[in-house]
A and B are shown apart, each in its own frame.
Chain A
Amino acid sequence: MIRFTHVSKQYPRGGPALDDVSFHLNKGEFAFLTGPSGAGKSTILKLIYVGERPTHGEVRVAGQSSAVMTRSQVPALRRRIGVVFQEFRLLEDRTAEQNVAFALEVIGTPRSQIGPKVARVLTQVGLAAKATSLPHELSGGEQQRVAIARALVNDPLVLLADEPTGNLDERATRGIFQLLRDINANGTAVLMASHDLNLVRTTNYRTLEMNHGKLVYDSGAAAPPEPAPGAPPSGATDTGAVA
């Protein structure tokens, strides 16, 4: 569903952010994207939601290629991708449900459908009782749940999470991580960037490790495309990439 083929990215100012990265993420898969700060994790996520374009190589998402995609085709693709960030990025003057509804309103969803969809997704993330709270009235973990609800409300194929637990304490981190696992169990692929190695090690999900813009390790390189949660680690040790 997401395929990187020899992708390099060079920002106009600054060194190479990505250097010849190739991998493939299957439908419904859960994968970690790890590595130190500046390794290229966020750049990979940006290339997926077309916040950036590759300098070389090709990124294919849901059958659409970065090489031929026009600017006007980008919104349609983004409606099939959910994105959450470390700093939540909620609109401070809107309640939890208004923040989620906003994502539906701006893509022209009929009003009659917005209410039920928002209620369903807020229940899914465990925030039905706080639907009318403003972001500053919520804890960090709860704000991130609102952000996840907003990302999920359009039933995306994949949820991209850029350090979603980076600002949270351990308890909230566990809660958010469990929520992402539940979302994945319902069939949504999840690609989660994190430098929290403890979190990564507690599971046996596929791990893509980045360093200096290169993909230096892919635990799923020899593994079946959709590892079942709780299954033993794939045991892959080579640093090659699956194209």
Chain B
Amino acid sequence: MNLAVREAFRAFNRAPMLSALSVTTIAFSLFAFGLFGLVAVNMRAALDQVEERVEIRGFVAAGTAPEATSAAVGDIAAFPEVGSVRLVTEVQALERARRELGEFQDVFEAGILPASIEVRLREGYRDPETVRTIARRFEAYDFIDDIRYGEEWVEKLYNMRNIATAVGITLGLIFAGVAVIIIGSTIRMAVLARSREIHIMRLVGATDGFIRAPFLIEGFLKGLLGGLLALALTYVTYTFVGQYLVQATYFEPALAVFGVLAGALIGLLGSAVSVGRHLRRV
């Protein structure tokens, strides 16, 4: 086996307690970051769900020729912002009202509800500005009596999403920063514990690159193990929350792999910084 890899594993064997401690510390700092990530992922999923319901509904004046409405539906469907367009006839509107408001079904009579064109927007075009623009284009049709799109509601939702994104990025950066600092310090302890070895290596003429290699491997492995442990912990938490509190969404596999690799990368970088600083001093 390559000497650098052998030395890295030797470091684990020689100080199992210290190694376990650093892996656990890394795991817990990544776990905190992971929990925050889970909250962010779930908030986003919830907002996405709500946002999907952003809808512009144009009511068609009574007596409009079906050809005119069909042509309008075709036109609107061609807008790049538009995801789907649906024509709801008077009959369909009545059926839906009766279905949704069962106890009042006798109140609804034929002809009371107008036909409508319902437009849902594509993802990324659900901001208030786009919604307003589409609504205005919609209004340009003569046979459209009225437009409803919950203007205030869309505005509030949009603000909420902006706040959630800003808070998410800020907290995420803070958590990630704390994780980097904690992981850096743990690895620095490992470097200090082996300062005699580093000193001897330098004395007998080992190159800096050679001295660094086992530490980088060690840091990478610790980060990787810490990342896996953090992933396991977040999964346990997710299962627990799902069972006793609310149904939540877990990380997608790609995101989970990315998180573990990020842990390994942080371990690698933390090692590089710690060893580099140590090598500059001795």
Contacts and interface: CB of A to CB of B under 8 A. Distances in A.
B196 A76 contact: no
Given A106-B3, A106-B210, A108-B210, A91 B200 contact: yes
Interface string A78-103: 11000100000101010000000011
Nearest to A77: B205
B207 interface: yes
Interface in A130-151: 150-151
A107 B207 CA distance: 8
A154 B205 contact: yes
A106 B206 CA distance: 5
B199 interface: yes
Contact of B200 (A72, A79, A102): A102
Contacts of B199: 89
A243 B210 CA distance: 37
A79 B205 contact: yes
A150 B201 CA distance: 11
B86 interface: no
Nearest to A153: B204
A49 interface: yes
Interface residues of B, number: 16
B79 to A, nearest CB: 63
Contacts of B3: 105-106
A75 interface: yes
Nearest to A102: B200
Contacts of B14: 93
Interface centre among A75, A77, A103 (most CB of B within 10 A): A75
Contact of A107 (B196, B197, B205, B208): B205
Interface in A211-234: none
B196 A106 contact: no
Contacts of B197: 91
A228 to B, nearest CB: 31
Contacts of A93: 14
Contact of A49 (B203, B206, B210): B203
A154 B199 CA distance: 17
Contacts of A49: 203
Contact of A83 (B201, B203, B207, B208): B203
A75 B200 contact: no
Contacts, number: 47
A21 B196 CA distance: 30
Given A105-B3, A106-B210, A108-B210, A91 B196 contact: yes
Interface string B204-218: 111110110000000
A151 B205 CA distance: 11
A108 B205 CA distance: 10
B205 A75 contact: yes
B202 A78 contact: yes
Contacts of A108: 210
B205 to A, nearest CB: 4
Contacts of B202: 75, 78
Interface in A7-43: none
Interface string B132-170: 000000000000000000000000000000000000000
Interface string A36-68: 000000000000010000000000000000000
A71 B207 CA distance: 10
Contacts of A154: 204-205
A154 B197 CA distance: 18
Contacts of A89: 196, 199-200
Given A93-B14, A105-B3, A106-B3, A76 B205 contact: yes
A234 B4 CA distance: 50
A45 to B, nearest CB: 11
A69 to B, nearest CB: 14
Interface in A106-139: 106-108
Nearest to A49: B203
A105 B207 CA distance: 12
A154 B203 CA distance: 12
A190 B208 CA distance: 27
11 contacts: A75-B202, A75-B206, A77-B205, A78-B202, A78-B204, A79-B205, A89-B200, A91-B196, A107-B205, A107-B206, A154-B204
Interface of A: 49, 71-72, 75-79, 83, 89, 91, 93, 102-103, 105-108, 150-151, 154
A-B residue pairs, 4 tightest by C-beta: A79-B205, A78-B205, A106-B206, A103-B204
Given A75-B206, A89-B196, A154-B205, 17 more contacts: A72-B207, A75-B202, A75-B208, A77-B205, A78-B203, A78-B204, A79-B204, A91-B197, A91-B200, A103-B200, A103-B204, A106-B201, A106-B206, A107-B206, A107-B210, A108-B210, A154-B204
